[in-house]
Amino acid sequence: MSDDFRKEVEYVARLSRLTLTSAEKDLMAVQINDFLESVKQVQEIDTTGVEPTSHVISMPARLREDLIQPSLPLNKVLQNAPVREDNFFRVPSITSPTEREDG
């Protein structure tokens, strides 16, 4: 496994918002390297002029009428909230302490 590939895993893990242990990063670098080798066959296929499949069943998009429909009541929407404050989901601050002081 090259260091480059481990760095790639770290970069992608950050993009995915996924904390990985050092052992997980090592294992994943090897497995993903193997995986990408195994999908090389797909890359070798000539797809010149071929449209990608975006919808497996070809049908025109249907729009519903623009009517107000009942939605889930608030207590049901919030029933699984890990941390709740009044009728809100509570999360840590999305700004750093410095940004808050500047703001």
20 vs 68, beta carbon nearer other proteins = 20
C-alpha to C-alpha distances, 97 to 4, 54, 94, nearest whole angstrom: 34, 44, 10
In angstroms, the first-to-last Cα distance of the chain is 45
Residue 83 binds other proteins, judged by CB under 8 A: yes
At 45, which amino acid appears?
I
State the minimum distance, in angstroms, from the CB of residue 74 to other proteins.
Answer: 11
Angle between helices 3-15 and 22-38 (to 10 degrees): 100
State the minimum distance, in angstroms, from the CB of residue 52 to other proteins.
Answer: 3
Pick the closest to residue 35 from 5, 4, 11 (CA basis).
5
- The owner of tokens 């999908």 is 39
Residues 24-63 that bind other proteins (CB under 8 A): 24, 28, 31-32, 34-35, 38-43, 45, 47, 50-57, 59, 61-62
Contacts with other proteins, residue ranges (CB under 8 A): 8-9, 12-13, 15-21, 24, 28, 31-32, 34-35, 38-43, 45, 47, 50-57, 59, 61-62, 64, 72, 76-77, 79-83, 89, 91-94, 96
